[in-house]
Copies of this chain bind each other. A is one copy, B any other.
Amino acid sequence: MALTRKSPTIQDVARHAGVSTATVSRALSMPERVSQATRERIAVAVTATGYTLNQAARSLRRQRAGTIVMAMPNAGNPYYSTILDAVLAEAGHRGYGVLVSNRVQGDPTIWLRDYFLSSRADGLLLFDITLDVSGMRRFMEERGNLPIVVVCDEIIEPGFNLVTSDNREATGRAVQHLVDLGHQHIGLVAGPTIHDYPNERTLGFRQALARHGLAMREDWIIAGDHSIGSGYQAGSQFVALDERPSAVVCANDEMALGFISSVQQAGLHCPRDVSVVGFDDIDMAQYVSPALTTMRQKRAELATISTSALIDIVEGVRDPAKPVRIILRCDLIARASTAPPKGAAVRPAREFRF
């Protein structure tokens, strides 16, 4: 193996260009402060020596890592693919690297310690919807404000920077869609609860049923964990019910796909025997059969906006006294997995309700 030659440093460039390291440094990060001629000589020296900046040294001196952490509960979930893509794009655009971190067991503040308290990263993009924020808050109060943006499906207590979707309302609109089709019996495949508290989508579902005067049957609310497998299991539970709803709302697309797969395998037909609405509109949703009706979440926008906001905070561009609070609207994408219930002939959308 060839010997790893030592990387050229700013000293080498300075020597080569016949200037001081201070000038080289300035030429690189504040070019307008250096004369045209010197700038050019330095540019030549940089290419001649093959100089690359040592980020560790810069971080140490500047007290800034040039890196953000994207923390998620489960990187294995394809839901995050689009998000990751957009986060990378925006962060790269602004000159930041992205460290990715999966859920850590135990103390949630481990992220804080491990990454940006150790000046490995400057900010945290937090996608973990099941995180206990109280521990974090205590930690933040001890340390002063830390640049964190929560990006997720849930409305977190105020004071945090938040970029999210209108999950509660959107779930209501999903129910509305089914009601408009004539459904009176609607079930839910729910996502994980947040510390024994139902999440926003579940809440939205319950409220919508109440608003429409529809019966709420607890055995029609099936617990899932957002994975395809849990949707599949929910499907089995659904099939085994004595009395089945004519439609279900699934708290995300993956569960919806698993659910449909499961009931179809059991001999039921979607949407004839059961209409299914998903949530998120993952890439796959339009390519399965039946194509999935779903609430589209603007994942790329959520990612871009939150990343940009986080970097603004890190760079002090944004007034930290005013926390970010952005809620994007989801859109219903009606596809083939929803239809009027079996019995219904023609159904005048509104008149039949209650």
Question: What is the interface of chain A, defined by CB distance below 8 A to chain B?
Answer: 1-5, 7, 50, 52-57, 59-60, 65-67, 70, 74-78, 80-82, 84-85, 88-89, 92, 97-102, 113, 115, 117-120, 141-146, 228, 231-232, 257-258, 260-261, 264-265, 283-284, 286-289, 291, 320-321
Q: Could you say which residues of chain B place their CB within 8 Å of the CB of A100?
A: 70, 84, 88, 98-100
Whether A52 lies near B113 (C-beta < 8 A) is yes
11 A-B residue contacts at CB 8 Å?
Answer: A54-B118, A56-B56, A56-B60, A67-B120, A80-B81, A88-B102, A98-B100, A100-B100, A228-B284, A228-B287, A257-B288
Given contacts A56-B59, A85-B102, list 20 more A-B pairs with CB under 8 A.
A3-B144, A4-B143, A52-B117, A53-B118, A54-B119, A55-B65, A56-B119, A66-B120, A75-B88, A76-B85, A77-B81, A78-B284, A84-B100, A88-B102, A97-B120, A261-B286, A261-B289, A261-B291, A264-B289, A288-B288
Q: How far is the CB of A96 from chain B (nearest CB, A)?
A: 10
Whether B4 lies near A257 (C-beta < 8 A) is no
Q: How far is the CB of A284 from chain B (nearest CB, A)?
A: 6
Q: Could you say which residues of chain B place their CB within 8 Å of the CB of A66?
A: 120
Q: How far is the CB of A297 from chain B (nearest CB, A)?
A: 15
Contact status of A287 and B232, CB under 8 A, knowing A5-B144, A60-B57:
yes
